[in-house]
Structures are given as C-alpha cells and as structure tokens.
Amino acid sequence: MGIRFVKEEDYDRVLQLDTYCFPWLNDFRENVKSFLEKYIPQDAILGYYDQSNVLSAMLFILPFEIYIYGSVFNMGGIASVSSMPEGRHGGRVAELLKTSLRVMRERKQFVSMLGPFSYEFYRRYGWELGFDRINYTIPAENLDGFNKKVGNIRQFKEEDLDILDHIYTVYAKRHNCCAVRNRVLWTDFVLQDPYGRNHPRYAYIWFNDKKEPGGYIVYSIKDNRMNIVEMVYLDQEAKEGLLWFLFVHQSQIKEVYWSTALDERLHLDFPNPRIKMEISPWMMVRVVDVKEALLTRSYDEDINVNFSISISDPNAEWNNKSFTVTIKDGNIEVEESQEGELSCTIQTFSQIFIGYVTPKEAFIRRKLLGDVRAVEKMDRIFEKSYTFNNNPF
C-alpha cells in the first residue's frame, strides 16, 4: 500500500485505468498500449497501490522543455490522472498530486502544466489557468480574397525538418510555454497523430521569391473540413502565401478549422471578417519552486529592480514563505525574508510568472495585494505574453 513508481509489469493495469477513466481511448486501445510502451518512461508513472497491492490511481509526470521569456525550463507535464471508482473521494489523487510536486522539484522541473477535467479541482493543489486559445471556423467562400499566389509552396520532405524547427523556434520564443521540440516530438506528435486517430496529416513549407523559407502548415482533411494542426509564419507575406494555399482547397472542403494562440487576429486579413471565432480557456500552469524558477529565467541587462513578495502555497512548504528579489544589470538574487511588500497565492504567481496575467492586471483584480510601487517594479520583469503550447499531453 502507498505511492511508488509503476513498473512495466503493471502496464496492463495502467491501460485499464487509462481506458476506464478516458473512455474515448478504447477506440484506439492497441495504439494506446503501443504509445505507453514506446513513449512513457518507467519513472514517469506515479501510482497509488491499495491494501491488496493493486494499482488503483495514477498520474503521469512527462518530461518536457519549454520556453519562458526565451529561457529554457524543464517542465513536468501532468497527464492521465486516473482513479478507479471504488477509490474515489478517498484522497488518493490528492496525495499523488502533492507527491508529484516533490518529484518534479527533485528533477528540477520548476514549472508544471496540465490539461484539466476541472479547473476547480486542480486549483486546490496550486495549478491555475494559464492559456487561452482562439478557435476559427472559416467558410471556404471566405477565402476568395486570397486568390493571388504569393511566393511558392511545396510539400514537406524529411530533410526539411530543420527548416520547420527554425521557423517554429522563432515563433515559440515569442510565446511563453511553447515546447522545445526534439525530433520525436516533430515526427511522431506534430507531423503524425501518435494514436492514429485522424486522417493522414500533410505538411507544406512556404518560400518567398528569394527561396527563403518563411512559414509552414500541418493539417488534415476529413468530412469536407481542413483541420489545421499548426500554421506558423514569420511575416505577413508568408501568412498571405499560406492563406492562398487554403484558398486553392475550396473545391474539396467546405470550411477550415484552426485553433491557435490568442494573438492571432486572423479576421483582420479577411475582406469579410464575419467568421466564427471562439475563445476558450485551455491548460493550467503551476510554478513548482518559486525561488528556483526565478533563478532559472534570464533578465534584460537594463533591468534593476528590488521587491519582496509573500507566497501562499500550502501544498509546497518550500514556496510558502516570503522572498526578496533583487535584479541588477540582469543578474538576479533571491533570498528568503520575513515579510513581503506584496502577497499572492501560488496560483496567481504562476499566472504572473508566465506572462498570462501581468502584475498590474493581478493587482487590479485584487489577486496581488500590497504596495503599488512594488507592483510597478514587477511589471518591468513579467511582461504580457500570449502563452501557447501546441504539444498537448
């Protein structure tokens, strides 16, 4: 009885838990089993074993790297949080989540993300909303304004992977929490669906007239709809070239669907901007270790600020204290202190840390309390970012 890492001999039980708690996975049961064996390391599954030594609850701690203000962070992705019904409401998942914080801290994963079934549930343990997405549904006839070809576009080839990664990385560093992608993330999770759920994915790269790559698109077509997995461009010319590419599919689709970062104001490019746009809340974020997260980030050399802040984090005693933060010429020192000029919960600090909410916004909403002069200092460090992560887990 107790919490420990799950060994390979219990993977059949892991599959049972996964498919019971997430029934849609039963449609791809064999693919899920292969996915576990191929992609999930043995030290990634934290399990709760009952008195009969049977795995009754679990969660995955998946290792990622992400960008935050251009700095690379190790991130623990919490996934497949599962419990069999006979053990629910017994505190097992709560204990797993609290244990995961200690595990991630030991692994120097100072930030964590998850896709919630309930925002209220995970908020109890320190995670908070950190992402929004804008979802476009574009009727094919609305693409008529992009009937002029711009630049050139050709289908992706395996040797083009470095081109895609370069374009993506420029974009990713402008959007906090984008994943740093290795070859497997690209080939098995972006260019293909690892569960084999959808129709084939296609990828094309756009080039300007100087034969310089400036954008790409990954998509599938099913039931008269083009579903854009990812579309990234470096400038307006590349964007217009990719929109022309959408236009030439009018004969085989009725609409285009694209879910992307909130700063994508695509409707401004349309002669008729009356297209369906929906903003939806998405993943949650948590700072696992406040001090180490602050020390990991880089800061501009012209920043010289000093402030103190008290963090409330009952689930992680190493955060549940006050800190004095001093940044001089871009170099940072973080020391524990008796009290802070400012105070907030770990949930609010996590939102501020990734730029989802600025200190000023948190102050206005009474989520960050204290001296307004200290808020202004924090504002110089934590600028607004349109957070994004297109590698869900």
Residue 389 lies in a domain: no
Does a structural domain hold residue 114?
no
pLDDT for res 36: 86
Beta-bridge mates of residue 38: none
Residue 373 pLDDT: 96
Instruction: Give the model's pLDDT for residue 30.
Output: 79
User: Is residue 53 located within the same domain as residue 176?
Assistant: no
Domain range holding 319? 284-381
What integer best gives the mean pLDDT of the chain? 95
**Beta partners for residue 216, in sequence order:** 205, 232
pLDDT, position 72: 98
Q: Quick one: 172 and 139 in the same domain? A: yes
Q: Say yes or no: 264 and 291 in one domain.
A: no
Residue 86's pLDDT is 85
User: Is the residue at 390 inside a domain?
Assistant: no
Question: Which among 259, 280, 301 is the end of a domain?
Answer: 280
Q: What is the pLDDT of residues 34-52, one digit of tens each?
A: 888 888 988 999 999 998 8
- Per-residue pLDDT band for 198 (boundaries 50, 70, 90) equals low
pTM confidence score: 0.94
Q: Do both 176 and 261 map to the same domain?
A: yes
Q: Which two structure tokens, joined as six digits, stand for 321? A: 């204290």
139 and 266 inside one domain: yes
Number of domains in the chain: 3
Ranges 11-15, 74-78, 110-114, 312-316: which has the least confidence: 11-15
Cβ partners under 8 Å of residue 85, min gap 6:
none
* Final residue before a domain boundary, out of 231, 248, 280: 280
Instruction: Specify whether 157 is located in the same domain as 253.
Output: yes
Q: Are residues 179 and 46 in the same domain?
A: no
Whether residues 24 and 74 share a domain: the answer is yes
Residue 275 has pLDDT above 90, yes or no: yes
CATH number, domain containing residue 218: 3.40.630.30
Of the residues 280, 303, 332, which one is the last residue of a structural domain? Answer: 280
The residue-averaged pLDDT of 367-375 equals 97
